[in-house]
Amino acid sequence: MKTKLLLATLTLISASSFASTGTEIKPMHGYIDSPASRAYLCSTLQNKSCGPIQYEPQSVEGRKGFPQRGPADGRIASAGVGAFKQLDEQTATRWTKVNVVSGENIFHWTLTAPHRTTGWEYFITKQDWDPNAPLSRAAFELKPFCSRFDGGSVPAREVTMKCQVPKRTGYQVILGVWTIDDTSNAFYQVIDANMKTR
C-alpha cells in the first residue's frame, strides 16, 4: 500500500513539475536500454536515489539543438527538467557504469511513443574530462561520433544503430540525442561507460 501511495505521489509531483517548466512534455517517449543509460538503470534500481525518473526513464525531454542550443550546462543529463534533477548529479562514483568497448557498438532505443524524427546523434566526453564536475559542453567532443537522419519519418518502437565509438579508456559519458521533427524538443540519454579498447 505504501509503495502504491509513493508511486502516485511521485507521479503527481512529476506531472506538476512538467507543467511548471512551460515546456510541453508528454508522459511517454523513449530511452536507451543498451548500452544501458543512466535513466534506464534508475528504472531497474541499479542506480539509486534517482527520484521520479525511476518510474519514467522515457521522459527525459528538453529543448532540441544540442550543442548550440538545448539544455544548459550542468543540466544536460536531465534535459533541463527540474523533476529529474537527480540525473544531473555528477561524480566519478555516483552512477553505475556499463562496459563499452571502443569501436563498433550497437545502440538500442525502446520507444514507448514514437514521434516524427529529424535524427539521432551521439556525443562522447573527451579523454581528460573531469568526472567530478557538472556535465557541460566543455566536457564533450561537440562533433557527434555517430548520427542518423530520418527526415521526419516515424521510427519503429525499437531502434538500433551501429556506431563506431572513439577510442577511450576509463569512465566516459556518452550522450544520445533523439531529435523530434514536429516539436521543438529532443530526448536526451546519458550512458555512464567504463570504456575499454579491443
- What are the residue boundaries of the structural domains of the chain, listed by start? 2-196
Mean predicted lDDT score pLDDT of the chain = 88
Helix (H, G, I), strand (E, B) or coil at 97: coil
Which tens digits make up the pLDDT trace of 90-147? 999 999 999 999 999 999 999 998 889 999 999 999 999 999 999 999 999 999 999 9
Q: Are residues 152 and 181 in contact, defined by beta-carbon separation less than 8 angstroms?
A: yes
Beta-bridged to residue 179, according to DSSP, are 119, 186
Residue carrying the nine cell digits 530511452: 31
Alpha helices in 22-151 (DSSP H): 38-43
Residues 6+ away with beta carbon under 8 Å from 185: 23, 24, 25, 61, 62, 63, 64
Average pLDDT for 185-191? 98
Are 157 and 178 contacting, i.e. CB atoms less than 8 angstroms apart?
Answer: no
**Chain CA centroid to CA 90, Å:** 14
Write down the residue that cell numbers 559542453 correspond to: 137
- What local confidence, expressed as pLDDT, does residue 24 receive? 38
pLDDT of residue 15: 38
Q: Grid coordinates in use for 70?
A: 538545448
pTM: 0.86
pLDDT band, residue 14 (cuts 50/70/90) = very low
Q: What is the pLDDT of residue 94?
A: 98
Fold of 2-196: Coagulation Factor XIII; Chain A, domain 1 (2.70.50)
Q: Phi and psi of 111, rounded to 5°? A: -105, 120
Q: Residue 23: pLDDT band by 50, 70, 90 thresholds?
A: very low
